[in-house]
Amino acid sequence: MPVWQHILYSAEITAEHYGRTVSVGGWVQDIRNLGGISFVQLRDRDGVVQVTAVKKRNPELFAEINSLQRESVLLVRGTVKESKEARAGFEVLPEDVRVLSAAESPQPLGVVDKVGADLDTRLNNRFMDLRKADIRAVFRIRAAALQGVRDYLLSESFIEVSTPKIVAAGAEGGATLFPIKYFDKSAYLAQSPQLYKQNLMASGLDRVYEIAPAYRAEASDTVRHIAEFTSLDVELAFIESSEDVMAVAEGIVDSSLRHLLTAAKADLDLLGVDLSVPEPPYPRIRYDDAIDLLASDGMKIAHGDDLGTEGEKRLGDIVMEKHGALLYFITEFPTSLKRGTFYAKRYDEDPERTGYFDLDYKGQEIVSGGQREHRYDVLVEQMRENGLDLEAFDFYLKAFRYGMPPHGGFGFGIERYVQKILDLPNIRETVLYPRDRVRLVP
């Protein structure tokens, strides 16, 4: 067997390679045997290369190729030849073929078959599901969206940090915590890095972000909930109000969407997504006004209640109709709704209101946050209102006793964001290996 050259991906082969010997590798997508000639569609990460084997040129190689099962992994060394019949505009005439891995049959999931498969079957065989170009495109788009996020934050002097995911206390109460055994102690998987990123505001690292997993033990079998998700968390100090925080959220989304227009254009085109990039600033809608808008549309929500999934969707339709806005803030949430968020800053002139906001995208919340309470005495009182054990939060409170600047931030749900960018029917489509109430494997 000859020494193999550097393997080229299908997208790397150009007219300059015509007449030259190259090596290509990939999965056998299909084999069409016409008797004296066989066409092998060899799929790699970028596309498909047609390998054309002629029986009379090499009967043994021809027989070996035609004995293969689809999805077997091959390395092929051969000559590139222009071909108007081949989809890529060229074909490879094989000189040597190496079977790296022969696939079994029958296979658990089709890759190019017309017959569809339900989501559970696809997720149970995710490695094969990801061989489909449109499925891989989702994750390339996700990666590009995060690159746009990082580009903006780095340009605004934020630094990326990492905080613990095994914690002694929850940032949002115990109802949705996953308990774990930590040596001889009880601990939890982190719902959010909230307590740590606020702690950092007293350190001089006053503009931070983290992109990391977070965990919510919500028994919700919906198309928008998962138990393990990726959260972009941002915190910044020396702010005047929640408007400073909203400006950062706007900058992140604007940078991310604009980056996608160039970096992910081919994948967006593959999925048929015509991406719209709204110009900031995004509309601000006070919570009270959102309740009134829904009431005028026939949907009654009591003041102080959460809008809920249906309320968010309905409001998204109304805002689109009235303002033509895909992205908009819901602001000034009542204290009664955010009371469990003990660190939310309330208005001094009206303690029943907070500066907290949601950023909704196409009728779904993707960001939630606002200005935090930085005054120690007020924060302690709000924690007591929520029945929290102050001793359990000593490390958190200590930072507020020794110089804490005004600050704020938010959590940004990456999966929900990607789901709305691509209008996917289920949030699990945006996760390589999703975790929900029933799925723990693979």
Told to judge if 339 belongs to the known catalytic residues of this protein, a careful annotator would answer no
Told to judge if 365 belongs to the known catalytic residues of this protein, a careful annotator would answer yes
C-alpha distances in Å from residue 10, one per residue of 37, 47, 91, 130: 22, 6, 10, 18
Amino acid at 165: K
- The C-alpha angle with vertex 15 and arms to 10 and 19, in degrees rounded to 5, equals 95
One of 77, 131, 207, 216 is an active-site residue; which one?
216
One of 95, 218, 228, 243 is an active-site residue; which one?
218
One of 368, 372, 415, 428 is an active-site residue; which one?
368
* 327-331 vs 357-361, strand pairing mode: antiparallel
Please name which of 436, 339, 412, 401 lies closest in space to residue 145, comparing C-alpha atoms: 412
One of 95, 172, 228, 365 is an active-site residue; which one?
365
Could you identify the residue written with the tokens 């007219």? Answer: 15
The most distant pair of C-alpha atoms in the chain lies apart, rounded to whole Å, by 90
Which residue pairs, CB below 8 angstroms and at least 24 apart, start in 264-268? 264/140, 264/141, 264/144, 264/145, 267/137, 267/140, 267/141, 267/144, 268/141
Told to judge if 218 belongs to the known catalytic residues of this protein, a careful annotator would answer yes
One of 122, 416, 428, 429 is an active-site residue; which one?
416
Told to judge if 17 belongs to the known catalytic residues of this protein, a careful annotator would answer no
The CA distance from 147 to 156, in Å, is 14
Told to judge if 192 belongs to the known catalytic residues of this protein, a careful annotator would answer no
Amino acid at 153: L
Token representation of residue 439: 């799925």
Chain-centre distance for alpha carbon 23 = 34
- Other CB atoms within a 10 A radius of the CB of residue 127 amount to 10
> Cα dihedral sign for 158, 412, 346, 397?
negative
SS3 343: coil
The CA distance from 38 to 395, in Å, is 69
One of 98, 140, 224, 435 is an active-site residue; which one?
224
Q: Phi and psi at residue 214, in whole multiples of 5°?
A: -140, 165
SS3 198: helix
Token representation of residue 152: 């903006």
Told to judge if 131 belongs to the known catalytic residues of this protein, a careful annotator would answer no
Told to judge if 439 belongs to the known catalytic residues of this protein, a careful annotator would answer no
As annotated, the active-site residues are 216, 218, 224-225, 365, 368, 416
